[in-house]
Amino acid sequence: MTAYDVVTDRPSRRRSWVWPALSARHIRLKGLLPFVVPILLVLVWQVFSSAGWISTRVMPAPTDVAAAFIDQVLSGALFHNVAVSGARALAGLAVGGTIGLLLGIANGVSKLSEQLTDTSLQMLRTIPHLAMIPLVILWFGIGEESKLFLTSLGVLFPIYLNTFHGVRNVDRELIEMGRIYGMNGWTLFRKVILPGALPSIFVGLRYALGIMWLTLIVSESIAASSGIGHMANQAREFMMTDVVVLSLLIYAALGKLADVIARAMERHALSWNPVYQR
């Protein structure tokens, strides 16, 4: 990947050498650059839809999606569904994340706990949690428990693995230093082990957020009577492609939002790390 980056870097440098004036203007517009391709795509999409080259049954026009968005906002359905999905996501993250975090810490700190649970967890981890949907529906029906169970399960493993790894890899010399200065138990954990493991825990969290949304989309489409996934699935039955596409966009926006929040938390919590210092 790095080699590829280096190769693509070269032509642009050569161009700026050939057209220095143009490259100066480039620098001023640089902030807008990432938006050029999406905006162009939406424009082309709109033109194709308006000209009738794409059937609305395949793909609604961007204006139709915007109209659906306004409709859903005005009827209150959108807010309701986003709130329901968001609450499910947070509940799953809280439950699965807490269990994963506690297990990771326990197994990282205690050899006994590791021997007791790590092998079992590693075995459970190899089962794709979405494969459990039929069983989960049998257990819980399509109630809230099924979504909570699946998202918790999906979130648990990345958090567990990264917390465990993080705690295990805290610098032994720092721990020894802490002991010399009279830290033990809770103090040692709070001042040395947890901060040392935090970078790794954040990696787990951001990975878990992706799995959280994925699990929620799938389980809401299959077994739910509310939420964005349900909204999309219902729209499909009535061939309302605009609402289906709107649901996708909302998932994308929620996913992005979660990632932005997680990144901000990471930057704040790890501000001591040279990587996050500007």
Partner 1 sequence: MSGYVSRYAPRPGTIEPMGEHGQTVFAEATEPVSIELRRIAQTFGQNRVLRGIDLDVPAGQFLAIVGKSGCGKSTLLRLLVGLDRPTSGSLRFADRSGDTVEANARIVFQEPRLLPWARVVDNVAVGLGQDVDENTARVKALMVLDDVQLSDKADQWPARLSGGQRQRVALARALVSRPGLLVFDEPLGALDALTRITMQQLVSRVWRELGFTAVLVTHDVSEAVHLADRVIVLDGGKVALDLEIPADHPRHHGDPDLAVFERRLLDAILGGH
Report the interface residues with partner 1, using CB under 8 A.
Answer: 173-174, 176-178, 180-183, 187, 191-192, 195-196, 198, 270-274, 277
How far CA 71 is from CA of 75, 221, 240, in Å, comes to 6, 21, 13
Residue partners of 223: CB distance under 8 A and separation at least 6: 133, 136, 137, 141, 142, 146, 147
Angle at alpha carbon of residue 112, lines to 195 and 169, rounded to 5° = 30
Between 132 and 174, CB nearer to partner 1: 174
State in angstroms the smallest separation of the CB of 174 from partner 1.
6
Which element (helix H / strand E) includes 120? helix 111-125
Give per-residue burial for 123-150: e unless 16+ CB within 10 Å, then b. Answer: eeeeeebbeebeebeeebebeeebbbbb
State in angstroms the smallest separation of the CB of 11 from partner 1.
36
State in angstroms the smallest separation of the CB of 170 from partner 1.
11
Between 62 and 199, CB nearer to partner 1: 199
State in angstroms the smallest separation of the CB of 274 from partner 1.
5
Between 192 and 217, CB nearer to partner 1: 192
State in angstroms the smallest separation of the CB of 104 from partner 1.
19
Between 62 and 195, CB nearer to partner 1: 195
Q: What is the dihedral of CA 101, 104, 107, 109, to 10 degrees?
A: -80
DSSP state string for 50-83:
HTT-S-TTT---HHHHHHHHHHHHHHSHHHHHHH
Residue partners of 105: CB distance under 8 A and separation at least 6: 163, 167, 189, 194, 197
Taken in order 116, 121, 126, 129, the sign of the CA dihedral is positive
Q: Roughly what angle, to the nearest 10 degrees, separates helices 77-109 and 62-75?
A: 90
Between 145 and 176, CB nearer to partner 1: 176
Between 20 and 182, CB nearer to partner 1: 182
State in angstroms the smallest separation of the CB of 276 from partner 1.
10
Between 161 and 193, CB nearer to partner 1: 193
State in angstroms the smallest separation of the CB of 175 from partner 1.
10
